[in-house]
Chain A
Amino acid sequence: MIIPRVPVQHRRLLPDRRLSGPTPWVIAILMMLTLLAAAAGVGLARSANAIGSAIAGRVTVQIVTANPVTRAEQAAALRRAAAAQPFVRSARSVGQEELQETLGQWFGSAEDNDPVLQSLPLPALIDIDFVGEDRSSHMAQLRALVAAEAPGARIIPHAEWLGPVAQLIRSLAWIAGGLVLLMTLASAAVVIMTARAALATHFPTIEILHLIGATDRQITRLFQRRIAIDTAYGIALGSVVAAAILLLIGWQWTGITSGLAATASLGPAGWALLLALPLLAIALAALTARQTLLAALKKIL
């Protein structure tokens, strides 16, 4: 039982006012930050995994032959040959318009028929996705194919330049997980301090209860119940605010369908974790309060 049952008449043994002063507010803030950090961690981890699996089996072949006609012929031949290979899932030529559009974003000009962009000697690019897990053997076969169809072309594994980004995102996810852990410890520390303060405040009452025969268990349940209720208020408040923030972010995220941002989402498991966190927090608070109280009571005869 997260919040222990205590008869109504026994509950009156503690004063009606809340035990813990600012504790529910501190817990609310910590819970909100914990949920936001957890959401960020889950989103980043999923994003890193999505990027990692996407780039792990993808390469781009860059053909830089000076003659544009030969370059186009080599590109077409290589795309056809690659597509026919059993280790290739797909082979796609990146169109010149797509290249110019991308470059236009960097050069500050994305208009059609931009003479400067059109005058640039752009390489021919072919995106190739491998089949299966045996990347090294696929790379060796692709090298042989490229040497035959487009000598001098360069093979660029996506993992080479997007890998560090995925690693960075993964590191950020771990940092978010660490923050969740730290804030959980901070919440437990707040509960411990609250329990000790409550014991100190009500020591005369506890002493009397002891001397007329109350057991540690009876006294602990009184305080444990009150502390669990106080922290539950804080956890509920923090969860509501965090949920509102996450829904707002989710609403703003809806329009983003491209780039790295599109890979970030919580998924069913992530939402389940976020829903479970407040309940786990209440259970942790009750357990922490119980252990703190029992340890403190053992010091009294």
Chain B
Amino acid sequence: MTDAPSPRPGGAMVEFDSVGLRYGPDAEVLCDISFNLQPGSFYFLTGPSGAGKTSLLKMLYLAQRPSRGIVRLFGEDLVHMPRQRLPGFRRRIGVVFQDFRLIPHLSARDNIALPLRIAGVGEEDLSGPVGEMLSWIGLGDRADARPATLSGGEQQRVAIARAVIARPQLLVADEPTGNVDPEMAMRLLGLFEALNRLGTTVVVATHDIHLISRIENAQMMRLEKGRLADPTGALRYPPANRA
């Protein structure tokens, strides 16, 4: 898309500066959030339930504007951006929702193909990537199944496949491995890692400390009561420092 530029060389892919978020007249659920996400990096977002992880992710995948502060994505100010420009940015972001949010009347194949169809990819160019993705997540034989007939883990895999099929520049995942067995969790994490090696910036919200230890060079952000625990933006967990 021409209306969603790439971050300037050396610049951050995502910049949050003194961002606050409140819903209605209530107190802020996020307060003074400042961080930068570098292109091609891998981040884990952790914190207790109710800390504001999902709210932070919502701002990352453009479902919510902040109440105050500055949010820049791909070098552009998103706070004041006209809404008609947002679709171009959203097409460069893959999202894995905690509750999957698959479209119930579409098959697994059509759910996965959705981002490509929305982006205008022709049907003749769809079948290859969608078929490969179905095989990769182990659902090649269930391509025509509706979400209601899939298990929670299978739905999660379809949701992840939908998020990554368009090769997004930024992948945002909210508890992506919460409903899959450890083996599938590692396979999915491997997919995220592979995408990250190809240049995709990945942000994964999770409680799973074992997951965090599996990714080399991943950085961790921790939210507590709506505030980022490390105001410098990321606590680094290099392999050498891990237990």
Taking Cβ atoms with an 8 Å cutoff, the residues of A that contact B are 7, 9-10, 12-13, 15-16, 204-205, 207-216, 218, 298, 301
Shortest Cβ distance from residue B59 to the other chain A in the assembled complex, whole angstroms: 10
Find chain A residues with CB under 8 A from B63 CB: 211, 301
Q: In the complex where A9-B123, A301-B86 touch, is A209 in contact with B65 (Cβ < 8 A)?
A: no
Interface size on B, residues (CB 8 A): 26
Which of B9-17, B68-76, B98-106, B227-235 is the interface stretch?
B98-106
Find chain B residues with CB under 8 A from A208 CB: 101, 103, 114
Find chain A residues with CB under 8 A from B236 CB: none
CA distance A207 to B123 in the complex (A): 23
A205 contacts B84, C-beta separation under 8 Å: no
Q: In the complex where A9-B117, A12-B110, A205-B103 touch, is A213 in contact with B83 (Cβ < 8 A)?
A: no
Q: Mark B33-67, 1 if CB is under 8 A from A, else 0.
A: 00000000000000000000000000001111100
CA distance A93 to B34 in the complex (A): 104
**Shortest Cβ distance from A218 into B: residue:** B118
B61 contacts A211, C-beta separation under 8 Å: yes
Find chain A residues with CB under 8 A from B110 CB: 9, 12
- Is B142 located at the chain interface by the 8 A CB criterion? no
A301 contacts B95, C-beta separation under 8 Å: no
Q: In the complex where A301-B65, A301-B83 touch, is A210 in contact with B90 (Cβ < 8 A)?
A: yes
Pairs A–B under 8 Å by Cβ, sample size 22: A7-B117, A9-B123, A12-B105, A13-B103, A13-B106, A13-B114, A16-B105, A205-B103, A207-B101, A209-B114, A209-B118, A210-B87, A211-B61, A212-B90, A212-B118, A212-B162, A213-B90, A213-B115, A213-B118, A213-B119, A214-B118, A301-B62
Find chain A residues with CB under 8 A from B114 CB: 13, 208-209, 212
| Selected contact of A212 from candidates B84, B105, B115, CB within 8 Å | B115
Find chain A residues with CB under 8 A from B86 CB: 301
Find chain A residues with CB under 8 A from B238 CB: none
B95 contacts A213, C-beta separation under 8 Å: no
- Is B91 located at the chain interface by the 8 A CB criterion? yes
